[in-house]
Chain A
């Protein structure tokens, strides 16, 4: 159960778009379209931003979008805002035995 690989940090100016990658293997990200993304502000519980690869829960801004290509999933934040500054984690289903694996996490900084 190795963690999915994310960049440690990504930054952008207000209004810009940024993309966070999440690289797994053919046993997790590559096998299932079941990657979710979570936003976590300091000392807060994670918040679901994207599920099933590209679906947005009700109430989540349409500035957040998800996609997948092969063993890599991506989260794109467009029109970056100060409130988007947080840690972001991907999570993939990895089969009926392993269940789930998280990414290493990415700190997003709004310059």
Chain B
């Protein structure tokens, strides 16, 4: 079935780095744009980054621009989020979601990132 599975979350110190992965199955990964969305504990959803189906266009929320990098490997059906210079306010559950402007119909289960000393 159509599925997204995130991995790579954990506890990291402020200023540290972490790379999240999102492995897709059940659909043609290379045909779809992908997104990262995060949710801090007890807070709302925040869009983080988008990458076009072929990787040719990437956009970021102002809160992560210059620190986070979204990428994809279509041969591995995998989406990535490289997070550098992490701050306590980056602590959240990170979801990957499939889709472009017509809504995101498939979401992963989320992976927790905690930035704390």
Contact = CB atoms under 8 A, between A and B. Distances in A.
The finding on whether chains A and B are genuine partners in a shared complex, rather than unrelated, reads yes
A24 to B, nearest CB: 14
A45 B35 CA distance: 14
Given A34-B101, A100-B50, 9 more contacts: A32-B101, A34-B102, A46-B37, A48-B105, A52-B102, A57-B103, A91-B45, A100-B35, A105-B44
A93 B62 contact: no
Q: Is the interface of B mostly helix, strand, loop or mixed?
A: loop
Interface of A: 1, 3, 32, 34, 36, 38, 40, 45-48, 50-52, 55, 57, 87, 89, 91, 93, 96-105
Contacts of A34: 101-102
Interface residues of B, number: 22
Instruction: Name which of A91, A93, A101, A105 has the most chain B CB atoms within 10 A of its CB.
Output: A91
Instruction: Name which of A1, A91, A99, A105 has the most chain B CB atoms within 10 A of its CB.
Output: A99
24 contacts: A1-B61, A34-B101, A36-B104, A38-B45, A45-B108, A46-B45, A46-B95, A47-B107, A48-B105, A51-B103, A52-B102, A52-B103, A57-B103, A91-B47, A96-B59, A98-B59, A99-B47, A100-B35, A100-B47, A100-B50, A102-B44, A102-B46, A102-B47, A105-B45
